[in-house]
Structure 1
Amino acid sequence: MAKGFLTHITEKFGDGGYEGDQYGGAGGNDGSGLPTGAPGNFMFATGIECSYPTIDNGRTRRDLLAECGHYDNWQKDLQLVKDLGLKVLRYGLPYYSMHKGPGRYDWGFADLVMAEMQRLEITPILDLLHFGVPDWLGNFQNPELPVHFAAFAGAVAKRYPWVRYYTPINEIFVTARMSAKDGAWNEQLCTDKGFVTAMKHLVAASIMANQKIAEQRPNCIIVQSESAEYIHELRASPCAEIKLDNKLRFLSLDLLYAHHPDADVLTYLLDNGLTRKEYDWFMAGEPPGYQIMGNDYYGRNEKIILPNGEICTSVDVLGWYNITLEYYRRYRKPVMHTETNVFDAKEAPIWLWKQWVNILRMRQEGVPVLGFTWYSLIDQVDWDIGLTRKVGTVNACGLYDLDRNPRPVEEAYRQLLREYGQITIVPHGELFEVTRQPATLKVEV
């Protein structure tokens, strides 16, 4: 009886365990193991909560870096990131206290933290404006904001040339809405004109900051975190206002990425102070560098409006996957899940796993997902009321509490990292690494 091919292979090479298998064959890495930080690998991250809007008509500054104890524990906080096995940290410098005036900066705290981050080999996604501005700039109605903020961004990029990842302005849409449409922060306006004014100043500031960063770092990677939102209206005849709101959620990214908004949105903009010349400036092209669309998702991002007008939180009817897929199809940008949490520490582990299922589902669609962020490292304060009053309620949403003791979600995240820590951005992504070359293409190919 003639020998079969397996007999010949076994006699010549053995019964499995071949010498080449470790190079992506049967013995290759399945993506498990703690993150290595290799180019092309998926970026697992956390963040340091750093919001600093003003309330009480500018009389009170909410500085969450102070209220959550980071100024006193910054070394320990960075070490917690390192010990957890994370290579990436969304980190916000306290812009409001650093920028002392035109051309004047206080680098004291930033220099210490940035040096330690570099020593620990943590890759920062550097957040340069998080819901507030220095007192001397006033608020987001100030048309000088883009010029002064761009100068600050350029100074940061020049001082820390090793930093490549930036979020020039965190959640532009949320910043403009809470400050000028909802009346909660900073200028505390409740007008459409105030909202449009804040929006155009913020987006212009982000664009010009991006320009100044690219001058210092031509291969910069911009992770634009934005809130992924949706309103479900349960009425037989949807009202025009809610239909418009569900389009306005795209407004910051439309202006940032030079994507023409729908006609009713453009009419709204022109009716509330955006000039045709300003609109043409925004539509001239997207900012330089490599652009990543970051989508922040909390259960409270989705709302249901009942027939009687009552508003309730829908938690995750659509979820991050469905909402972000809509954003992706609109802008065709690589994606990152840039923020998520829940306020109940017991529910946090299952919420983490649910968000991870969303990411795996997105990867199955072939969408390049750059990374995932549990936000934040440490518990937060008063976010249950949107920082609108200084109450001091601790929101148990961190990987660690305010005493730097681990929450249950910390162990869940460790488990997630051990299981998936070395996967690539897309399958076989080691073929397509994040290179060091400057960005050049301005069109889709």
Structure 2
Amino acid sequence: MNKSTNSPAHPLELWGGLECTVNRVQDTYFSQLDRNGHSGRACDIERFAALGIRAIRYPILWERTAPDGIDGADWRWPDERLAALREAGVTPIAGLIHHGSGPRHTSLVDPGFAQELADYAGAVAARYPWLEFYTPVNEICTTARFAGLYGVWYPHGRDDRTFIQALLNQCRATVLSMRAIRAVNPNAKLVQTDDLGKTYSTPELAHVAEFYNERRWLGWDLLCGMVGPEHALWNYLQKSGATAEDLLWFRDNPCPPDVIGVNYYVTSERWLDHRPERFPENHRGMADGIPCADIEASRVLATPTPGIAPLLSEIWERYRLPLAITEAHIDANREDQMR
């Protein structure tokens, strides 16, 4: 599999993916695989291969496969699909949690979440020892924001403490999962995805934009063992409930991605404005105690942002790890999407 965008020995490859979240809102579950129909269409895999896709982010989701424990796991669906991908010459990048919070008995803030996911990851590796690429938890920081800070997904937290607890749990789960996977397949590789956005603002909210732009790195920083007392957000992390022991565990147990997966959307770049009355009600809120509007930069800036290229340079300079663009989409007409 190609992991380089600049080596002539490894030409660019087309990777694919599909929306596969088992979304939980309170006690209601919503499966995107059922809604989009892929759960019942094995023939999709032939279509994926016909597009020229060489690798695909593919779900072997904990919630679907082993909701009642590993002993009761139902492997029939992943057995069929992974065999078909292998036959088609498409490399799976196995996703175990995708914007989910695990089976009903656990959650992103459950102290047992990390070890339970690692146990499941080990079972996946034991059943499919040929699998090489894994994303145990998709978009760690983004999921923590939506589940712990914005209150959108279960467990519907709306504070920094819940956000940080969910963030640390997912990062620890990733470290322990890769450890369990590599006990079976020492060559297994971590493809760690997350949203790579950027926040811009009016001068009155520049300090908030600066904080958001530092916060976006936290998941990758923790996995890379880069969080210590010298980190820009060390004090914030401790004020939000993380102990020095919690944080330094990642420095002692680093699990840097073999490939950083960059997810980038038109909506990934945001604009903060201290004049919320100028914007629709659904974009109004508070930031650092200041009334503001939070809206897509593409909707309000007369001069467009530079786009993804400088963001790729930023993440390369920070980590110096292989990069892949693992999600990109625009919700528009077909011509806009193709362009």
2:337 pairs, out of 345, 348, 351, with 348
Q: Alpha-carbon deviations, 1:225-276, whole Å to 9, x = none? A: 11101110122x4454332222111111111111136644111111111111
Contact kept? 1:97, 1:134, Cα under 8 Å? no
**TM-score between the two structures when normalised by the length of structure 2:** 0.86
Deviates more, 1:259-268 or 1:164-173: 259-268
Match of 1:339 in 2: 327
Structure 2 residue runs of 5 or longer lacking an equivalent are 1-8, 276-291, 299-303
Contact kept? 2:205, 2:273, Cα under 8 Å? no
Q: Aligned to 1:166, what secondary structure does the other structure show?
A: strand
1:234 pairs, out of 167, 190, 202, with 202
Give yes or no for the alignment of 1:293 onto 2:250: no
Task: Give the number of the structure whose residues are more often strand, by fraction.
Answer: 2
Give, in whole Å, the separation in 2 of the partners of 1:263 and 1:85. Answer: 42
Q: Aligned to 1:340, what secondary structure does the other structure show?
A: strand
Contact kept? 2:160, 2:240, Cα under 8 Å? yes
Match of 2:16 in 1: 46
1:199 pairs, out of 167, 170, 173, with 167
Give yes or no for the alignment of 1:133 onto 2:82: no
Change (3 A) 1:134 1:225: closer
Give me the CA root mean square deviation.
Answer: 1.8
Task: Read off the aligned partner of 2:331 and give its amino acid letter.
Answer: F
Task: Read off the aligned partner of 1:244 and give its amino acid letter.
Answer: F
Match of 1:439 in 2: none
Q: Aligned to 2:246, what secondary structure does the other structure show?
A: helix
Match of 1:155 in 2: 123
Match of 1:281 in 2: 249
Match of 1:269 in 2: 237
For residue 43 of structure 1, report the CA deviation from its aligned partner: 2.6
Contact kept? 2:209, 2:272, Cα under 8 Å? no
Larger RCO, structure (CA 8 Å, separation 6 or more): 1
1:313 pairs, out of 253, 275, 296, with 296
Q: Aligned to 2:22, what secondary structure does the other structure show?
A: coil
Structure showing greater Rg: 1
Q: Aligned to 1:297, what secondary structure does the other structure show?
A: strand
Identity, in percent, stands at 25
Change (3 A) 1:68 1:312: same
Deviates more, 1:140-149 or 1:103-112: 103-112
Give, in whole Å, the separation in 1 of the partners of 2:212 and 2:120. Answer: 32
Task: Read off the aligned partner of 1:139 and give its amino acid letter.
Answer: S
Give, in whole Å, the separation in 2 of the partners of 1:80 and 1:278. Answer: 45
Task: Read off the aligned partner of 2:263 and give its amino acid letter.
Answer: D
Give, in whole Å, the separation in 2 of the partners of 1:87 and 1:242. Answer: 37
**TM-score between the two structures when normalised by the length of structure 1:** 0.66
Contact kept? 2:227, 2:247, Cα under 8 Å? no
Contact kept? 2:126, 2:184, Cα under 8 Å? yes
Give yes or no for the alignment of 1:83 onto 2:50: yes
Q: Aligned to 1:339, what secondary structure does the other structure show?
A: strand
Contact kept? 1:124, 1:165, Cα under 8 Å? yes
Give, in whole Å, the separation in 1 of the partners of 2:294 and 2:127. Answer: 47
Give, in whole Å, the separation in 2 of the partners of 1:218 and 1:43. Answer: 25
For residue 92 of structure 1, report the CA deviation from its aligned partner: 1.4
Structure 1 residue runs of 5 or longer lacking an equivalent are 1-38, 351-445
For residue 42 of structure 1, report the CA deviation from its aligned partner: 2.8
For residue 285 of structure 1, report the CA deviation from its aligned partner: 4.3
Superposition pairs for residues 164-243 of structure 1, below 5 Å? 164-235=132-203, 237-243=204-210
